[in-house]
Amino acid sequence: MLSQVRKFVLSTTLIATVIFSISGQIPGSVAQPVTALPPLKQIKSGVMARDVQCTQGLILVLKSENDLPACIRETSLAKLISRGWAKQAPVSMQTGGKIVTLEQNNQAISLKKGESFLLKLGETHNWSVDITNQTIVSRVMNVMVVKGAQGLYQAHNTGDTTLTAVGDPLCYREIPRCLAPSIVFRLDINVTQ
């Protein structure tokens, strides 16, 4: 009976997550962003420590005493580190080690099936990202990323695809509109076994 209740709760949570994820993409929707479970609950539900996600506005750290993940406010980071209570989680723990930046424009990367990368093009532009074949690589939904990042992307199947991002200057939305040019970013992605 307890097993059935757990399955029901987990399936209800999954359905709610999907509904809020979809409605969050619909303009004019009133859905609020989905918040992540606390790190300990994520681990107890089977999530690997390296895959723990924090709610928007919080960052991932490791507790000094036992290396367990915790989510804290960024403003608390320096104080907790200086007191020896926490250490900053390595970026590789959060992204699988790969971070794609503007420096990789017009280049190619290789991933293995299941690997992920963080797309971090900065916050000086409003970015819209497109992937030619999302069955090969797609954005991981409901993952809060660091400031200046456009998302966490994961490789699902073998093959080749292209990620294209267009960055409009922030002043494009102002009145009068600025004349600064947009940036076009292109990344060829090859996924192998």
User: Domain limits of the chain?
Assistant: 33-89, 95-192
pLDDT (0 to 100) of residue 158: 94
CB 74, CB 54: distance < 8 Å? no
Spelled out in words, what is the top-level CATH class assigned to the domain 95-192? Answer: mainly beta
pLDDT in tens, the chain (193 residues): 665 655 554 454 445 444 444 444 444 444 444 466 788 887 777 767 666 777 767 778 888 888 788 888 878 888 888 888 887 766 545 445 588 999 999 999 999 988 889 999 999 999 999 999 999 999 988 777 788 899 999 999 999 999 999 999 999 888 888 888 999 999 999 999 8
pLDDT (0 to 100) of residue 86: 84
pLDDT (0 to 100) of residue 41: 82
Contacts by 39-47 with C-beta closer than 8 Å and gap 24+?
39/68, 39/69, 39/70, 39/71, 40/68, 43/68, 43/69, 45/10
- Distance between CA atoms of residues 146 and 58, nearest Å: 9
Could you tell me the sign of the dihedral formed by the alpha carbons of 66, 140, 124, 23, in that order? negative
pLDDT (0 to 100) of residue 14: 44
pLDDT (0 to 100) of residue 155: 92
Q: Which amino acid is at 18?
A: V
- pTM above the 0.75 mark? no
pLDDT (0 to 100) of residue 166: 96
- Cis, peptide link before residue 176, omega less than 30° from 0: yes
pLDDT (0 to 100) of residue 22: 45
